[in-house]
Amino acid sequence: MTTSARSVDMPSGDSIPALGLGTWYFAERAGRRAQEIAALRLGLDLGMTLIDTAEMYADGAAEELVGEAIAGRRDEVFLVDKVLPHHATRSGTVKACQASLARLGVDHIDLYLLHWRGRIPFEETIAGFADLIEAGLIRHWGVSNLDLDDMRELTTVSDGCQTNQILYNPARRGPEYDLIPWLTEQSIPVMAYSPIEQGRLLDNPALDKVARRHNATAAQIALAWVLRMDGVNAIPRAADPEHVRQNAAAADIGLTAEDIAEIDASFPAPTRPRPLEML
């Protein structure tokens, strides 16, 4: 079994898998370590070759776990990592990346993101990203949790942003009003984190009804709903192999117009601008 071959194109011309692997909350319990590593390795086997992590996750321990999981398989992986905003000065960005590389045990990161906006000007962070690219330590850079005004400002500084990683799922549709359309116009893909709202969507009657029609779970339908859009990829967290298999199967669910209408009735599309939500 492998996932759907659908991919998402970045402005650089590189393609990334539409469905990847998130690692938020990984490496927080020693007893789950072997299971979490097995989940990541199975994900790679199933074609979910984008792995997302961050220096913030478990204070760097998640990066160490990812490094162990991909040891000997680095060439298969599109590796995404993030710098904390208070580290994101020009020199601080470089130092943070070097520390992440050491924990990961790799020589480069494919896509390095500003985790959210802080007080440090974009110019400084982007200069740090440029230094890292020149040194061969990262291939591309992007951002996370930036709303429309932030993105507009960012693009006055540089046109090199490759993605905006945001909270997006049926219960968090605010970005559809203005942020996602603007990103689409700029050919900047969306990377959706928490696409099943950390499990809080599992009891929704509309998702459950659609799931029964597809012999699927509500979580799979929520994930298929996120993946229905071109230019959007998703990075659900799955800490055990069975959950990874279920996520992989969601990539092949084709939602019908009736399915979409029922989900829309339960989770209406936004009719006005909303502040970007974060978890």
Q: What beta strand segments (E) does the chain contain?
A: 7-9, 15-17, 21-22, 50-52, 78-83, 109-114, 138-144, 161-167, 190-193, 232-234
Distance CA 38, CA 233 (A): 22
Does the active-site annotation cover 25? no
Distance CA 183, CA 187 (A): 6
The catalytic position among 57, 112, 168, 193 is 57
Residue among 81, 82, 155, 92 at smallest CA distance from 119: 92
Contact status, residue 270 vs residue 173, Cβ threshold 8 Å: yes
Residue type for 117, please?
Answer: R
Alpha-carbon dihedral of residues 206, 212, 214, 215, nearest 10 degrees? 140
Instruction: Please give the full DSSP string across 49-72, using - where no structure is assigned.
Output: -EEE--TTGGGGHHHHHHHHHHTT
Q: Where do we find the tokens 């130092």?
A: 95
Helix (H, G, I), strand (E, B) or coil at 190: strand
Distance CA 219, CA 258 (A): 18
Q: Do you know the residue count of the chain?
A: 279
Residue type for 141, please?
Answer: W
Local structure of residue 8 (DSSP, 8 states)? E
Distance CA 200, CA 188 (A): 28
Distance CA 180, CA 146 (A): 11
CA 142 remoteness from chain centre: 11
Residues recognised as catalytic: 57
